[in-house]
Amino acid sequence: MELTKSFKEHVQWGGGLGALYGLFRADPWSKVDYKNGIPAQESWKVVNQIQDYVISHSRWGIPALIVEECPHGHQALDSISYPTNIGRGCTFNTQLIEETSHLMAQELAAKGVHIALVSTLDLAKDPRWGRSEECFGEDPILSARMSEAVIKGFQGSLISDEINFLDQRVSDINKSPDQIGVALKHCIAQGDALGGHNSGTVPIGKREFADIYMPLLKSARNAVGVMAAYNDIDGVPCHVNQTLLEQHLRKENGFQGLVMADGIALDRLSDVYEDQVEAAAQALNAGVDLSLWDETYTKIESGILNDTIDEKALDHAVSRVLAVKFLLGLFENPFVQPTDQKLLIEASRRMNEEVAKESLVLLRNNGILPLNPKGKKIAVIGPNAESIYHLLGDYSAPQTRDQQKKTIVQALKDTMIDAEIVYAEGCEVRNEEDQDLKIKQAIEIAQDADIIITILGGSSARNFDMEFLKNGAVSSKGINMDSGENVDVASLSLGGKQELLLRKLSVLDKPIVTVLIQGRPYDITLVEDCSDAVLVGWFPGQEGGQAIAKTLIGENNPSGRLGITYPRNSSQLPVYYYQRDASKQEDYYDLPGSPLHEFGEGLSFSTFTYESLAYKRNVDKLQVSVKVRNRGDFAGKVSTLLFIKLLGGSVIQRTKMLKDFCKVKLEPQEEKTIVFTLSSDDFRYMGADDQWHYVKKVKIMIGDLAKEIDLE
């Protein structure tokens, strides 16, 4: 492996290298695949070669930070691809998220990576947005808890609330070899853009920011870094929003790490500033320490020389970058030692399947599930049944030949060994041309089948013929891609001829089970009308096929609950559940106002019931308890969600807000008591005077139970 001339020239230009992004990135945008990319087993050698050159050609012998994309696994060759966040949020299982994050950290650490870029701070408030798949859901508390789990999994206790690591002695840092830093993205409110447009303007006020986004900023406090978002908030771009980055993030929530710019985001400041030097000055003053790649921060030197940029602002940024390098052990041990990854790969495969299982959400079941496939002929039909890439989501790397075999069809064949499995594509995800023959072939195999399983939905699969923007977002339209960065849609209808295919299959009067592979909610009213069961699979990752197959035959009892509200169609938006409880006309003249499925919905093969909702006050704490019982014949996991509604105050309060959740496993007829502890901050709101106030009365809700509590 040779270092390129351009790389050496860049190191010479800068007198070193602060950070290197995307060294191992493999995808159509980078034009890297197995023909020209870096295999996982060679990664550590390449990092050592780079560090040796950078250190020896740096004025002070400073190593470079190796920064990589890891939204649902490392975006690199031979990597492990987990379910995307929209599915992982539906697990409501922070322990699973922490454990899988730790496995990702081990995988990246073995390659020499120091910082993983992980999406956790965005909220899926408008499902038209193409990056909804990167969100844990629409709820700030769910996303905040998942963010904290990600940080703990990647970093352990590298940063804590009690210690300011900027002042910590290097000898006191207790870092294990498999801990790496995580930079959470994006800061903040990117999913709130008008119309679901990527990088669009976000017109939210102080109360919306306080209620919805402050919990997320607090959750990021112990991350090594955060990445600023492309969007503006009420006209002010996040990359120059000093109130956001310095006041809210650092001072109010205790964030100690570095703030990164997104790719060419600083160059986009030309929307505000004509001069790149001025843009660089404003971003530095706002607290952006490190750029991902752009021209703007290359103007810092000239800005200091002409007194446009205060050198103290640069010193603050540099000190934070250096502190992170000390924290992550770059100065003590800049080189990587080879490790055997066999045990890690097997552990990751098992955990990957477990996350996929718990992410599945059963929305409809008339009793057909679980299936008894013995002796049956089962027709598997649909555009997402025979492609691993359709299961992975955006920011995914090329797959090996063995990985490409992990399709849903193959998993069904492996699992339903006593059944005859036949397959037809039926139609493509979005392409409407030349689909008649495919539909005809699907009808022909379905006519002789006992059961039909349709695998419908969308796809984020990129291909090497597509065109991309400088920041990696898609600029051309992939014919069968309807999700991912810059792939926003106006309609939530299933693409292509999928609905026509399903209607034709339903006429056959055969039992139909529909599995939806997707990165966002769709309009599935027709799907539910035509199907005996509907299972939402999201983008379930490399082991998603196995998870789905085992669920359909009852080896896995579905436990996922919706982390996002399901609209009837895009005309209803917005439908996120925590809107204010105003005296409005909820129903439209031509459409009900209620969503198709509420946040937190999800069926099981068991029936879980709640009783004995109780509370106990202790100084400034409120302890809430409830009993949950499994009244079914299947063992299963259940997520208990605690909502509250603030009563009274000087503003219109929200219908309800999630404040805590807990997931437990129950055997048939088993009962457990779940206990939650709420603090006084859970009962505060920003009043009409823009100050924090505490309500005197609150309503708590779990399942179908509710109590009003006087807090005075």
Among 139, 70, 134, which Cα is nearest to 107's?
A: 70
Span 124-168, pLDDT tens digits: 999 999 999 999 999 999 999 999 999 999 999 888 877 777 766
Q: Give the model's confidence band at 173: pLDDT under 50 very low, under 70 low, under 90 confident, else very high.
A: low
End-to-end distance of the chain based on CA atoms, in angstroms? 69
Q: What angle do CA 101, 244, 487 make, to 5 degrees?
A: 60
Tokens standing for 331?
A: 């100065």
Reply yes or no on whether the pLDDT at 564 is more than 80: yes
Q: Give the model's confidence band at 473: pLDDT under 50 very low, under 70 low, under 90 confident, else very high.
A: low
Q: How many CB atoms lie within 10 A of CB 406?
A: 19
Q: Are 560 and 172 in contact (CB under 8 A)?
A: no
Q: Sheet containing 697-702: which strands, arranged edge to edge?
A: 657-666, 636-647, 697-702, 705-710
Q: How far is 602 from 536, CA to CA, in rounded Å? A: 10
CATH 3.40.50.1700 fits 360-560, yes or no: yes
Q: Which fold has domain 608-710?
A: Immunoglobulin-like (2.60.40)
pLDDT score of 167: 67
Amino acid present at 301? E
Tokens standing for 222?
A: 């112990």
Among 519, 625, 627, which Cα is nearest to 563's?
A: 519
Q: How far is 385 from 590, CA to CA, in rounded Å? A: 36
pLDDT score of 169: 62
Reply yes or no on whether the pLDDT at 277 is more than 90: yes
Tokens standing for 227?
A: 């990445």
Q: Are 708 and 693 in contact (CB under 8 A)?
A: no
Span 14-59, pLDDT tens digits: 899 999 999 999 999 899 999 999 999 999 999 999 999 999 999 8
Among 308, 317, 260, which Cα is nearest to 284's?
A: 317
Three-state secondary structure call for residue 41: helix
CA gyration radius, the chain? 26
Q: How far is 258 from 223, CA to CA, in rounded Å? A: 9
Q: Give the model's confidence band at 478: pLDDT under 50 very low, under 70 low, under 90 confident, else very high.
A: low
* Helix and strand counts by DSSP (H, E) for the chain: 18, 24
Q: How far is 645 from 211, CA to CA, in rounded Å? A: 13
Pairing of strands 115-119, 65-69: parallel
**Residue-by-residue DSSP string for 155-189:** HTTSS-SS--GGGS-GGG----TT--EEEEEEES-
pLDDT score of 474: 55
Q: Which residues pair with 626 in a beta bridge?
A: 674
Q: Are 624 and 634 in contact (CB under 8 A)?
A: no
Q: Are 502 and 516 in contact (CB under 8 A)?
A: no
Tokens standing for 668?
A: 């048939």
331 φ/ψ angles, rounded to the nearest 5 degrees: -75, -35
Q: Give the model's confidence band at 585: pLDDT under 50 very low, under 70 low, under 90 confident, else very high.
A: confident
**Mean local confidence (pLDDT), 499-525:** 98
20-327 and 608-710: same fold? no
Tokens standing for 115?
A: 């910082």
Tokens standing for 409?
A: 């069809």
Tokens standing for 240?
A: 């120059």
**Mean local confidence (pLDDT), 342-364:** 96
Q: How far is 221 from 257, CA to CA, in rounded Å? A: 8
pLDDT score of 22: 95
Q: Give the model's confidence band at 1: pLDDT under 50 very low, under 70 low, under 90 confident, else very high.
A: confident
182 φ/ψ angles, rounded to the nearest 5 degrees: -130, 135
Q: Are 157 and 141 in contact (CB under 8 A)?
A: no
Pairing of strands 201-202, 115-119: unpaired
Q: Are 44 and 110 in contact (CB under 8 A)?
A: yes
Q: Calculate the dihedral angle through the C-alpha atoms of 361, 363, 368, 372, rounding to the nearest 10 degrees.
A: -10
Query: SS in 3 state form for 561-595?
Result: CCCCCECCCHHHCCCCCCCECCCCCCCCCCCCCCC
Q: Are 385 and 530 in contact (CB under 8 A)?
A: no
| Domain ranges (residues) in the chain | 20-327, 360-560, 608-710
Q: What sign does the CA torsion over 41, 45, 51, 54 have?
A: negative
Indicate the length of the chain as a whole number.
Answer: 712
Q: Are 545 and 408 in contact (CB under 8 A)?
A: yes
Q: How far is 288 from 532, CA to CA, in rounded Å? A: 52
Q: Are 264 and 294 in contact (CB under 8 A)?
A: yes
Span 591-646, pLDDT tens digits: 999 999 999 999 999 999 999 999 999 888 999 999 999 999 999 999 999 999 99
Q: Which residues contact 436 (CB under 8 A, 6 or more apart)?
A: none
| Architecture field, domain 20-327 | Alpha-Beta Barrel (3.20)
Q: Sheet containing 621-630: which strands, arranged edge to edge?
A: 608-618, 621-630, 671-679
Place of tokens 């499995």: 421
Q: Give the model's confidence band at 556: pLDDT under 50 very low, under 70 low, under 90 confident, else very high.
A: very high
Reply yes or no on whether the pLDDT at 475 is more than 60: no
Burial 528-548 (b: 16+ CB within 10 A, else e): eebbbbbbbbbbbbbbbbbbb
Among 253, 248, 323, which Cα is nearest to 287's?
A: 248
Q: Give the model's confidence band at 379: pLDDT under 50 very low, under 70 low, under 90 confident, else very high.
A: very high
Q: Give the model's confidence band at 548: pLDDT under 50 very low, under 70 low, under 90 confident, else very high.
A: very high
